[in-house]
A and B are shown apart, each in its own frame.
Chain A
Amino acid sequence: MSDVVITAENLSKRYLIGHQSDRRERYTALRDVLAREARNFARKGLDFVRGRQIVQGDEVEELWALRDVSFEVRRGEVLGIIGRNGAGKSTLLKILSRITEPDRGRAILRGRVASLLEVGTGFHPELTGRENIYLNGAILGMTRAEITRKFDEIVAFAEVERFLDTPVKRYSSGMYVRLAFSVAAHLEPEILIVDEVLAVGDAEFQKKCLGKMRDVSSKEGRTVLFVSHNLAAVKGLAKTGIVLEGGCLALSGAVGRAIEGYTKLTSRCMSDAKHEEWGRGTHTRIHNARLLTNDGKSTTQYVPGEPIRLEIVVETDGTRGLSLELFLTDATKTRIGLASTYQFHGQTLPEKKGTYMVRIALEALWLATGSYGFNIATSVVNHEWDHSVESALEFDVQYSNALGYSWDFKQSYGYGALSLLLQSSAEFQPYDEKEIAWDHL
Chain B
Amino acid sequence: MEPSASTYELVIEPGRAERHYWRDLWRYRELFQVLAWRDISVRYKQTVIGAAWALIRPFLTMVVFTVVFGQLAKLPSDGTAPYALMVFAGLLPWSFFATALGDASNSLVGNANLISKVYFPRLIVPIAAVMVAFVDFLIGFAILVGLMLWYQFLPGWQILLLPAFAAIAFAVSLGVGLWITALNVNYRDFRYVIPFIVQLGLYVSPVGFSSAIVPDQWRLLYSLNPMVGVIDGFRWSLLGGESRLYWPGFYLSLAVAGFFLWLGIRQFRKMEKGFADLI
Interface residues of A (CB under 8 A from B): 3, 5, 15, 48, 51, 53-54, 75, 94-113, 115, 117-118, 121-122, 124, 126-127, 131, 134-135, 138-141, 143-144, 190
Q: A118-B117, A121-B117, A190-B5 are in contact. Are A100 and B38 (CB under 8 A)?
A: no
Q: A122-B114, A139-B31 are in contact. Are A113 and B42 (CB under 8 A)?
A: no
Q: Mark B105-124, 1 if CB is under 8 A from A, else 0.
A: 00000000111111110000
Contacts beyond the supplied A97-B119, A109-B11: 18 A-B pairs with Cβ under 8 Å: A51-B270, A53-B278, A96-B12, A97-B118, A101-B274, A105-B14, A107-B13, A108-B12, A109-B10, A110-B6, A111-B4, A111-B5, A111-B8, A113-B10, A121-B114, A122-B118, A127-B38, A138-B30
For A97, A99, A106, A118, which residue has the most chain B Cβ atoms within 10 angstroms? A99
Q: A94-B276, A100-B273, A140-B118 are in contact. Are A110 and B8 (CB under 8 A)?
A: yes
**What 8 pairs across the A-B complex have the smallest Cβ distances?**
A98-B119, A138-B34, A106-B13, A121-B117, A107-B12, A109-B10, A101-B273, A100-B276
Q: Which residues of B contact A117 (CB under 8 A)?
A: 117-118
Contact residue among A105, A134, A139, A143 (Cβ-Cβ distance under 8 Å from B118) = A139
Q: Which residues of A contact B23 (CB under 8 A)?
A: none
Q: Are B11 and A107 in contact (CB under 8 A)?
A: yes
Q: Does B142 contact A (CB under 8 A)?
A: no
A116 CB to closest chain B CB (Å) equals 9
Q: Does B45 contact A (CB under 8 A)?
A: yes
CA distance A144 to B31 in the complex (A): 9
In chain B, what residue has the closest Cβ to A5?
B5
Q: Does B187 contact A (CB under 8 A)?
A: yes
Q: Are A121 and B8 in contact (CB under 8 A)?
A: no
B46 CB to closest chain A CB (Å) equals 8
Q: Mark B251-279, 1 if CB is under 8 A from A, else 0.
A: 00000000000000000001101101110
Q: Which residues of A contact B14 (CB under 8 A)?
A: 101-106
Q: Which residues of A contact B115 (CB under 8 A)?
A: 99
Q: Does B1 contact A (CB under 8 A)?
A: yes
CA distance A144 to B5 in the complex (A): 23
In chain B, what residue has the closest Cβ to A3?
B1
Interface of A is mostly: loop
Q: Which residues of B contact A144 (CB under 8 A)?
A: 30
A-B contact count (CB 8 A): 117
A128 CB to closest chain B CB (Å) equals 10
Q: Are B42 and A126 in contact (CB under 8 A)?
A: yes
A204 CB to closest chain B CB (Å) equals 27
In chain B, what residue has the closest Cβ to A144?
B30
CA distance A141 to B121 in the complex (A): 11
Q: Which residues of A contact B274 (CB under 8 A)?
A: 53, 100-101
Q: A106-B12, A121-B117, A126-B42 are in contact. Are A99 and B276 (CB under 8 A)?
A: yes
Could you give 14 example pairs across A and B, Cβ below 8 Å? A3-B1, A5-B5, A53-B274, A54-B187, A75-B5, A95-B12, A98-B12, A99-B276, A102-B14, A104-B14, A105-B13, A121-B114, A126-B42, A143-B30
In chain A, what residue has the closest Cβ to B12?
A107
A10 CB to closest chain B CB (Å) equals 11
Q: Are B9 and A110 in contact (CB under 8 A)?
A: yes
Q: Does B41 contact A (CB under 8 A)?
A: yes
Q: Which residues of A contact B9 (CB under 8 A)?
A: 108-110
Size category, B interface: 35 or more
Q: Which residues of A contact B45 (CB under 8 A)?
A: 126
Q: Does B186 contact A (CB under 8 A)?
A: yes
A166 CB to closest chain B CB (Å) equals 14
CA distance A5 to B1 in the complex (A): 10
A374 CB to closest chain B CB (Å) equals 35
- Beta-carbon contacts under 8 Å, B165-192 to A: 186-187
Q: A5-B5, A48-B187, A126-B45 are in contact. Are A99 and B12 (CB under 8 A)?
A: no
- Beta-carbon contacts under 8 Å, B182-225 to A: 186-187
Q: Mark B44-64, 1 if CB is under 8 A from A, else 0.
A: 011000000000000000000
A406 CB to closest chain B CB (Å) equals 22
A154 CB to closest chain B CB (Å) equals 16
CA distance A118 to B11 in the complex (A): 24
Q: Mark B1-31, 1 if CB is under 8 A from A, else 0.
A: 1001110111111110000000000001011
A110 CB to closest chain B CB (Å) equals 5
B148 CB to closest chain A CB (Å) equals 36
CA distance A3 to B13 in the complex (A): 22
A207 CB to closest chain B CB (Å) equals 26
CA distance A117 to B115 in the complex (A): 12
CA distance A219 to B240 in the complex (A): 68
A229 CB to closest chain B CB (Å) equals 19
Q: Which residues of A contact B35 (CB under 8 A)?
A: 138
A155 CB to closest chain B CB (Å) equals 18
Q: Which residues of B contact A106 (CB under 8 A)?
A: 11-14
Q: Which residues of A contact B278 (CB under 8 A)?
A: 53
Q: Which residues of A contact B118 (CB under 8 A)?
A: 97, 99, 115, 117, 121-122, 139-140
In chain A, what residue has the closest Cβ to B6?
A110
Q: Which residues of B contact A134 (CB under 8 A)?
A: 34
